[in-house]
Structures are given as structure tokens and as C-alpha cells.
Amino acid sequence: MRAIAQPNIALIKYWGKRDTEQNLPAVGSISVTLRDLYTAMQVEFDDVLERDELTVNGAGDNSMLPRLSACLDRVAGTDRAHARIFSDCNFPIAAGLASSASAFAAATVAAAAAADKQFTIAELANLAGQASGSAARSILGGFVELSNRDSGIEVTSLRAAAEWPLNVVVAITETGPKAVGSTEAMEISRRTSPFYSSWVEQQEHDLETARSAIADRDFGKLAAIAEHNCLKMHSIMWASRPPMVYWNSATMRCLQAIRKLQGAGIDVFFTIDAGPQVKAVCLPEHAVKVAAALSATDGVVDVMTTAIGEAARLMDES
Ligand code: DP6
């Protein structure tokens, strides 16, 4: 069975866990799914296999296999047959572009179908979220909110992509994998950052502001809260011990380019995840200008423009 999922970028960030065993987030988050970036994941259970096998973009690659095998166990049960897994991804993996979100959302949907199991959206989100918190949001498309519930998490669609067709321009400033993965970095933040507890306390306010901005399609309001929430998350990391600074000099230059565009009346704002890439969210009529400005920024190696995308889904019934 083959499923496809888009990565998502958080406008209000998930940073910190309330339960590391179940991988439950300490805070809710809001994201948009990216239409033109994808991971396609094929899962085939086969009794003759002696272990799970993973092929990434056509080559054997075991780096993600332990997390994928655990994900398949949760979806199909630990008594499942071993699996052949083929992953195809059209963007840099583990570089702060949410590759784990699309990978685990696609793997969850493909494995459920391969095991002939029917799950609700809430169940799929919890299964994907146990593999990687942000993956739960890629189960749905458009503007998605992830909320904490006593029993786990819940994902809801705040708006379909077509109802507010924003664009996202991704500026790649480095293609290598990041130094510290999000999972570890979040725990370092929780244990050592003096700003962590106020981050958790203030998150509901940021979520409420973003929720109402999305309901009203108020770009300026969404821009202000998303940039604030992003910089707050990075402040936690900078103030952790050891400090975690994911930015490089091109990241900073992109922020300056975006400030300049804003000064010229362009509707655009930035967000940055646990990596050096900058994502500029803008109105579609400004996407060409934003992409041109970021392409011309020293240190930017590639620029991709995408619309907001759809939910994770099966690609075929074979
Ligand atoms: C900065 O979902 O990768 O992108 O649950 O440990 O796998 P794990 O973390 P992950 O963290 C994403 C962090 C972020 C913000 C976000 O996507 O909300």
C-alpha cells in the first residue's frame, strides 16, 4: 500500500513534551500543510522477510528504520509480519523541513491500509503523533490545529487550503542534516531553559490569537503572532544549556530581506523551525517578489514556492 503526505510548517509551534513515553506535546500547535513537498511511503507486509527493510529514494537506508518499525508495530500490532518499506521524498531530509512529519503521516496511513485496519482521524493522528508529534498535523490538510486532550491529542481543520490560499516560500540555506534533532532539543529546553515554563503558559494565548486570525483571514494578525511565537521558541533554545542555535548567517539575512519586503508593503511573514531554513508565508500575488528577494539573498542555495496542501491519503488500492 502506498500513501502520500505533505510536510507541514507550524505557525504556532510545538516545542516541549508532557509525556516522552507516549510522545505527547506540552502545548497545542497550529500548522499549514505544504502542497508541493511530499513523502510517498509504500508498506508491504511479507511473512518471508526476516526483518523490516527500508529503501529511501531508491537506496538502502537504515537510519530511520527503528522509528519506522516502532510506528508499524503501533499501527499493525507487534505480531505483524516484517515489512518492505519504500520512502520517496522530494526535499532535503532532516534539515528542518519537517521531513519526519510527512514520513510518519504517510507511513501510518500506508501501514493501516496494508494491515487492513480502519482508524478514525483521531486514531490516525495519535498513531502518527506517537512517532513524531508534528506528523499528527499532516494527517489533515489546510490549516490544522493540534490540541491536547486527556486521552491524547486531537487534530482539527481550522480552514481548508482553498478557503485562504496562502503561499509559502521556503528558502534553503543549508542542505545537511541538523546537529541536534528536535526530540532531544525539546528535552534539553524543558530541563534547562529559564524561559520554558512561560512558553507553556503563554501558548494558549498565541493559539487563540492565531485561531481568530485564521477565522477572520486577517493576514497582519496572523503574521504578528506567528513571528512572535517562532522567535519565542528560538529564544528558549538559545537560552538552553547547552545552547542550541539552528540559524546561520543566511537565516538572518533572509529575516532582514523579509523585513525589507514588509517595509515595502508586501504581505509576508517568516517562520523558522529546528533548522536554518526560512519559510516565508505570503499572499499568492506576492509570491514571485518574495521568492526573488530570497533567491537574491547571499547564502540561499535554493528557493521553493508552494501552496497550502491536502491531507495524507492513499495513492492506490493495490
Ligand atoms: C520546531 O515533531 O520533529 O518543527 O515529536 O520529537 O518527533 P518529535 O518532534 P517533531 O518537532 C517539531 C518541532 C518544530 C515545531 C513544529 O513543527 O511544531
- Which residue's CA is the nearest one to ligand 1's atom 6? 183
Q: Write the pLDDT tens digit of every residue in 13-54.
A: 999 999 999 999 999 999 999 999 999 999 999 999 999 999
Q: Write the pLDDT tens digit of every residue in 249-288.
A: 999 999 999 999 999 999 999 999 999 999 999 999 999 9
Question: Using CA atoms, how far apart are residues 137 and 135, in angstroms rounded to an integer?
Answer: 5
- Whether the CB-CB separation of 3 and 123 falls below 8 Å is answered with no
- Which residue's CA is the nearest one to ligand 1's atom 11? 182
The pLDDT, as a whole number, for residue 95 is 55
Above 90 in pLDDT, residue 313?
yes
Query: How many A from CA of 288 to the centre of ligand 1?
Result: 29
Domain ranges of the chain: 1-318
Query: How many A from CA of 178 to the centre of ligand 1?
Result: 13
Mean pLDDT of 284-312: 97
Q: Is the CB of 183 under 6 A from ligand 1?
A: yes
Above 70 in pLDDT, residue 93?
no
Above 80 in pLDDT, residue 91?
no
Per CATH, the architecture of 1-318 is what? Answer: 2-Layer Sandwich (3.30)
- Whether the CB-CB separation of 308 and 140 falls below 8 Å is answered with no
- Whether the CB-CB separation of 272 and 251 falls below 8 Å is answered with yes
Mean pLDDT of 150-168: 96
Residue from 165, 242, 168, 189 nearest 14 by CA: 189
Q: Is the CB of 182 under 6 A from ligand 1?
A: yes
- Which residue's CA is the nearest one to ligand 1's atom 12? 134
- Which residue's CA is the nearest one to ligand 1's atom 3? 182
CA 257 from centroid of its chain's CA atoms = 24
- Whether the CB-CB separation of 12 and 229 falls below 8 Å is answered with yes
The pLDDT, as a whole number, for residue 176 is 75
